[in-house]
Homo-oligomer: A and B are copies of this chain.
C-alpha cells in the first residue's frame, strides 16, 4: 500500500524575505530531515505550482529543482490552478503503483506576495475561461455568483457563510504555520468590506507564500521503519467545464461529486468514516459546497450546518473540518495548498497535530479544487 511517510510545510504568509527557490528548498530539506531520509533515497519528484511562469518568469521548474538538490532523477511539474497540489499527489501515487518499492517527493510551492494584488489577481484569473476574463470576472466574482444562487435557493443569509470563516480562523489560531492566527468574530466578518456581494474580505482566502512537501512511498521496508505513516486509500481526480455558463447547476461543484464518489467507492469507505477533512474553502461558500458535494451534508443543509459550527474543533462531533485553518486562515499559496491539506490529514492521523489534535482520527479526507470547479481532487488517508 502506498503510504505517506513524511510531511513538512513552511510558514504560510507574506514571506518577503524568502524567494520561490528558498521556499522549495526549505520544504524539501524539512521533509527529508523530519523523516530521517537522504535525497538519494528519492526516485522521482512531483512538483505543483501554478503561477511562477506568469509572475516570476520562472518555468521549467524540474531542472531548477534538479539544480537545488543536485540530482538527475525524473522531476515533473504539474499545473491545475489551485488544484495543482492535489493533482501532483494523485500522479505521484499513480507513479508508485507502477514502480514498486520506490519513494517520491511531492512538493508544492507558490510565491504570490511580491507582486501588486492586481498582478496576482489577474494571474489567478487566467484559470478562468477567456470569456469570463474578458467580462472582468475574477474568482471572488465567480464564487459570488454561485453564492448568490445558493443563498437565494435555500434561503440563507451572509451570516450563515460567516460561521465558516469564524471556525477556520479559530482553527488557524491553533496552527503555528498558518498565515492568520487571529480569531475573528462573526460581527467582524459581517462588517468587513464587500469584495463581490455576498462575499466580503473575511469570506475570502488570502494571497500567501509558502511551500509544502510530502514523502510518498511504495517501499514496504521503508514504510515499516517510518516513525509516522498513513496509507493512501484513494486519490481521484475529476474535471468539469471551465465556464460557469456550461454548468447544469451553480449551487454545487459537480467535479467534487464525481471525484468523491470514485474515492469512496475505491476505498470502500463512506463519508461518516472520516474523522477529519481538509476541504477547499477558497471562499466561505466553497466550504459549504464541499461539505455537501463530498456527501458529508445533505444538499441545501449546508448553511444551517455551518451556523451550528458542527465541524469545529472542540465541538465533540465526529467530523472536524479544516483543522489547519483551511485556505481561509492557514493561507492559500496555490501550488502548496493541495499538499498542505493532505499533510494536515497526515498530521492528524499520526497524532502530530498537537493543540488541534482530533481524537481517534483513523481516517481523513483532503479535497482540492481548481478554479471555479474545473478540477477537483479527493484524497483519502487511513491507518
| CB of A233, distance to nearest CB on chain B (Å) | 16
Q: Is A59 an interface residue (CB 8 A)?
A: yes
Q: Is A193 an interface residue (CB 8 A)?
A: no
Q: Is A243 an interface residue (CB 8 A)?
A: yes
Q: A59-B79, A77-B79, A78-B78 are in contact. Are A238 and B374 (CB under 8 A)?
A: no
- Chain A: interface secondary structure? mixed
Q: How many copies, total?
A: 2
B129 contacts A66, CB within 8 Å? no
Q: A59-B79, A78-B77 are in contact. Are A71 and B239 (CB under 8 A)?
A: yes
Q: Is A54 an interface residue (CB 8 A)?
A: yes
Q: CA A77 – CA B375 in complex, angstroms? A: 11
Q: CA A254 – CA B79 in complex, angstroms? A: 27
- Interface residue tally for chain A (C-beta within 8 Å): 57
Q: CA A64 – CA B130 in complex, angstroms? A: 10
| Residues 55 to 78 of chain A near chain B (Cβ within 8 Å) | 57-67, 71-78
Residues of B within 8 A of A126 (CB): 53, 57-60
Contact string against B for A residues 192-213, beta-carbon threshold 8 Å, 1 for contact and 0 otherwise: 0000000000000000000000
Q: Is A127 an interface residue (CB 8 A)?
A: yes
| Residues 239 to 265 of chain A near chain B (Cβ within 8 Å) | 239-243, 246, 254-255, 258
A370 contacts B62, CB within 8 Å? yes
| CB of A316, distance to nearest CB on chain B (Å) | 37
- Scoring A57, A62, A128, A238 by chain B CB atoms within 10 A of each residue's CB, the highest score goes to A62
| CB of A63, distance to nearest CB on chain B (Å) | 2
Contact string against B for A residues 124-144, beta-carbon threshold 8 Å, 1 for contact and 0 otherwise: 011111100100000000000
Residues of B within 8 A of A74 (CB): 90, 236-239
For residue A81, which residue of chain B has the nearest CB? B60
Contact string against B for A residues 82-120, beta-carbon threshold 8 Å, 1 for contact and 0 otherwise: 000001001100110110000000000000000000000
Residues of B within 8 A of A258 (CB): 72
| CB of A307, distance to nearest CB on chain B (Å) | 32
Q: CA A65 – CA B242 in complex, angstroms? A: 8
Q: Is A50 an interface residue (CB 8 A)?
A: yes
In the complex, 17 of the A-B residue pairs with CB atoms within 8 angstroms, ordered by the A residue number, are A57-B122, A57-B126, A57-B133, A58-B130, A59-B126, A63-B240, A64-B374, A66-B242, A67-B241, A73-B239, A74-B90, A74-B236, A74-B238, A75-B375, A76-B78, A77-B79, A91-B95
Closest 7 CB pairs of A and B: A63-B374, A97-B98, A60-B127, A66-B239, A60-B81, A74-B237, A67-B241
